[in-house]
Amino acid sequence: MPKLTNKQTLSLVVLMTLPYLSGIADDKFKLADNPAADAHVSGQSFTLAQAIDYALANNPDMQIAAERIGEAEAQLGVALSAFYPQVTARVGYESSNNPARVFAMIVAQRRFDSGSIANINQPGFHEDFRPEITGKMSLYRGGQDLYNSEAAKLGIRSAELEQSALHNALIQAVTASYYGYLAALEAHKIAQDSIAAINSELEQTRKRYAAGTVLKSDVLSLEVQLADAQSAEIRTANGIELAQTSMATLLGKSAHQAFTIAPSANLPKPVLATAFNALLDQALVQRPEIKAAATQVAISEKQLKSEQGAYLPRADAFVSYGQNSAEPGFSANRDNVTVGVAVEMDLFSGFSTQQRVSAATRKAAEARETERKIKLVIEQEVRTAYLQLEEALARLHVAETSVAASDEALRLVNEQRRAEVVTVTRYLESEVARNKAHSNTIAARYDALSAEAALKKAIGAWK
């Protein structure tokens, strides 16, 4: 099973959590009302679709995944090299006074004559130069070469599935970050509007207090409410900064590279029109992680068969062409050719073959259990995403219903406040209720959009 993030998964999970915080855009990362007009000032401008395309092309994890595919292709080339002959060129030099070695040198150099026998016991030092070219080809290795090449082919498929899984997760992360950024901006705007409204009411209340028509406690209550609103504005400002950092990292941009985010004109309202069981069936068919796990099972089985092949005999063919001479140089009159076939078999390897087979057996069992675990994890992910979208849509319906009522309630309280027929406490309660209703609507709206993206990722819609 490819590690999603695997090393990559850990970084994506962290990044995907940041956008749900709220915060303020600075000059480099502002929400562009007119992206085309501001692009020359703020750098590139991204809609959601453009951000996804840019992230897929520039996110470091996607580049790493592409390199892993290339690495797997190279490993296949290494495995296939076992089916080709191996050719080696070498030059050897030897000097010896060993009678047996000297005799072999003289014969190989084609210098043997009747006089060579006379000094065979005391030959003195003789030299031998041997340039040669040697070729070797494996004829049979218990099927190990075949199984290794098949495992390497499956390795390419595994790397491609890992890239597909990352593709799916990255799109979901960019989408969630985009919605989180927009939600943070709207939450910040609500906080600013709340500060403006409270400031206006505080100014009027101070005038009334100076005129002796309200109590000092009314002024103090509004000052406390203003402090709370300012605190909320600070939190939402920080949330925007965090969302900006998340998006920049997903896009593969460094901190000094400026860009803007262009809001979508009409964000579609999420729907949940498909039953859970149908979505789960889609996930089990489409998710790259499941296919990658099955590929890992197949790879481990090929590797097991390869290790078992070590129990069988091995056969190699070889040929050597060269010459032996007493001095450097080459002469066709002294060349020689050796051709043969060698068969060997390990009778006892110190139990190393047995242990390698045992390890490969365990690895195959581990791969099968990993595949089962991945299916269970994906079932849970689909269920969680489904329930979260269901909940977000329900909260959105309730929040939208409460917004109109809270706006009207605050309008009526403001009129009564001007007529001095309600206390400042009633005004504060209405203001808090209105702000909470709007905040809940924003949160529910973008939570629903993010939950929809999470459900699409869970079923492998962006593989």
| Per-residue pLDDT at 425 | 65
* C-alpha pair distances (Å), 70 with each of 12, 67, 157, 203: 23, 5, 11, 68
From the CB of residue 23, how many other CB atoms can be counted at a distance below 10 Å?
25
Residues 6+ apart with CB under 8 A from 315: 138, 139, 140, 141, 341, 342, 343
DSSP 327: S
- Domain assignment of residue 2, yes or no: no
- Please, what are the averages of pLDDT over each run of 10 residues along the chain (463 residues)? 38 36 34 38 76 94 95 95 94 91 86 77 87 94 94 96 95 93 86 83 82 82 86 89 88 85 78 91 94 96 95 95 84 84 93 95 97 96 94 88 78 73 66 76 87 94 86
- Domain assignment of residue 223, yes or no: yes
Residues 6+ apart with CB under 8 A from 88: 133, 134, 135, 136
- Domain assignment of residue 27, yes or no: yes
**pTM score:** 0.75
Torsion of CA 380, 385, 391, 396, to 10 degrees: 170
| Structural domain count, the chain | 1
| Per-residue pLDDT at 3 | 38
| Per-residue pLDDT at 439 | 76
| Per-residue pLDDT at 310 | 93
| Per-residue pLDDT at 151 | 96
| Per-residue pLDDT at 17 | 35
240 in Cβ contact with 23 (< 8 Å)? yes
| Per-residue pLDDT at 40 | 36
- Domain assignment of residue 463, yes or no: no
* Residue 384 lies in domain: 8-458
- For residues 431 and 47, what is the distance between their CA atoms, to the nearest angstrom? 34
- For residues 368 and 293, what is the distance between their CA atoms, to the nearest angstrom? 8
| Per-residue pLDDT at 197 | 78
- For residues 185 and 175, what is the distance between their CA atoms, to the nearest angstrom? 16
- Domain assignment of residue 177, yes or no: yes
- Domain assignment of residue 125, yes or no: yes
- Domain assignment of residue 1, yes or no: no
Q: Kindly report the CATH number assigned to the domain that includes residue 385.
A: 1.20.1600.10
